[in-house]
Structures are given as structure tokens and as C-alpha cells.
Amino acid sequence: MVRPPPVDQNERNGANSNRPGAEELAEAALKLAEFLPLWQLDIVELTGHNLEARGREEVNRLLEAGWRLLHIYTLKYREDDVWRERPMAILGRSRKS
């Protein structure tokens, strides 16, 4: 549910009383995207990165560049007879970003 925009001086005077702000529109679009199936997000490129220190910097850079976080999971693998776990992220770039 989208919360109503904050009241400012223009709204108290009756100007722009029914127009949501850019922040509210962006928030509503993000909430709508959470419910859309993956194929409706118009994803044209996927990438996966670990979320440990070095990989986290790359993930943050991609998010700032407009990529969308699609999924976080734990990769479990065996290395030198020891089972290890690594947090991973899948990101997607939409055609519009």
C-alpha cells in the first residue's frame, strides 16, 4: 500500500492536492515490481555475485547503476573435504535501465 504524500504548504492552499510526488510514484512502482512475474520485468541480462566483502562492492555498484536484486541464496560446496557456504545474489538488468 502506498502511503499518502506529506502535506506541504502548496497542499494546504489546495494546489496539487491530488498529485503524488516522484518519491511516492517510485515507491509504488517498486512495490508493483515485487508482484510481477520475472518475464514481465523485461530483464535482458543476468549476473550472479557472491555477497562477501569483494563481491558486495560489485553488487552495490550494479544496484546503483540500475540493476535489480532478484534473488539471494546460499551456495553450498565442498572444498578440500570441507563443506563451505557462500552467500550469493542474482541481479538482473532491465531493458529500461
Number of residues assigned to the chain? 97
**E strand spans, 8-66:** 43-50
By the 8 A CB rule, do 2 and 24 touch? Answer: yes
More confident of the two residues 47 and 17: 47
pLDDT band per the 50, 70, 90 thresholds, residue 1: very low
| pLDDT tens digits, 35-88 | 777 777 788 999 999 999 888 899 999 999 999 999 899 999 999 999 999 999
- Report the C-alpha gap between 72 and 90 in whole angstroms: 6
- Report the C-alpha gap between 33 and 40 in whole angstroms: 9
The per-residue pLDDT for 73 is: 94
- Report the C-alpha gap between 17 and 14 in whole angstroms: 6
More confident of the two residues 96 and 87: 87
The per-residue pLDDT for 92 is: 93
